[in-house]
Structure 1
Amino acid sequence: MGKLLEAKIKQLNHSVTIVATNSEPEHIRYAEVDLIVSTVPINSAEKPVIVVSPFLKAHEHDLLTQAIVNTQKPEVSALKTLLGSADNIHFLSSTHRFQVIEDLVQPLIDTDRVNTVYMESTFAREQRSSTYIGGGIAIPHGSPDHVFTPTVKMGVLPEQSIGTQPSPYRSLDRR
């Protein structure tokens, strides 16, 4: 019966990974599982347990689907993952592009995420060609050779400068 139930669960949700199908639940406490589906009651204080019939009846489909949805981790946006924490968002007072770079890079130097040459390479990159991509967004960056820990910093310009003054960055097409 274990293989039949396994097939029905896989049909229900293809993203489910089945760790085991057997009558000995002893190994389950050691496995990294989010949910235990069983045809017999199991006492587990650590993991949620759903008891179903070996044939997985229609009402059990709904119960199991909801349990699977509840155990799935929410998706996190790539930007949130890269930023890591609110400490990486800086509300800036300067609107000059080189001062903005300094305000964003200096904390990286202070926390040993980059070396001091990184700031110089960022200035050099910005002088060669603006990293402004339009829409009020620039992506200044230096040489990865000077990075110890990859990090994303976000700088927010003062509100009075947004939309009322030209960007401190300029694009190649001067927009």
Structure 2
Amino acid sequence: MISVYIGLGSNLALPEKQIQAACSSLAALPSTALIMCSSLYRSQPMGPQDQPDYVNAVALIETKLSADSLLQHTQLIESQQGRTRNANRWGPRTLDLDMLLYGKQQIDKEYLQVPHCGMKQREFVLYPLFEIAPDLILPCGEILSELLLTCPLNGLRKMAPLK
């Protein structure tokens, strides 16, 4: 089994329920177990500010699925929850599932970069990740707790534990 951290985000169609449904879908994946989910966090949009705030969380799963297979499954979950991909990279969405870490592997493909690009600067990734993995060391050797020292909250607010 490989430990995988998945970032979850939503700012449309009852975001808290979208995140809960996504966690349930992750738990139902073949050869996969949902180990834990962080609390929910509210964050400001990364891109255009004329959209609702996001609700974010991070989930830890253990899986026998390959990274490519897991990516296909997470994209299917996004689609089933109403995600449509468009040209607006940081626009509003019902669900965004990002593979943050896949074990200690570093993957660099046109369609998949792990560790997830930009995760080291994103408060809505680092703080929920720290909640569930405070002693985590990234594949590059950086210590998660040290990354938090240079990552401002930018208005990030912890909401509630995931139900």
User: TM-score, normalized by length of structure 1?
Assistant: 0.25
Instruction: Determine which structure has more spread, i.e. the larger CA radius of gyration.
Output: 1
The structure richer in helix per residue is 1
User: TM-score, normalized by length of structure 2?
Assistant: 0.26
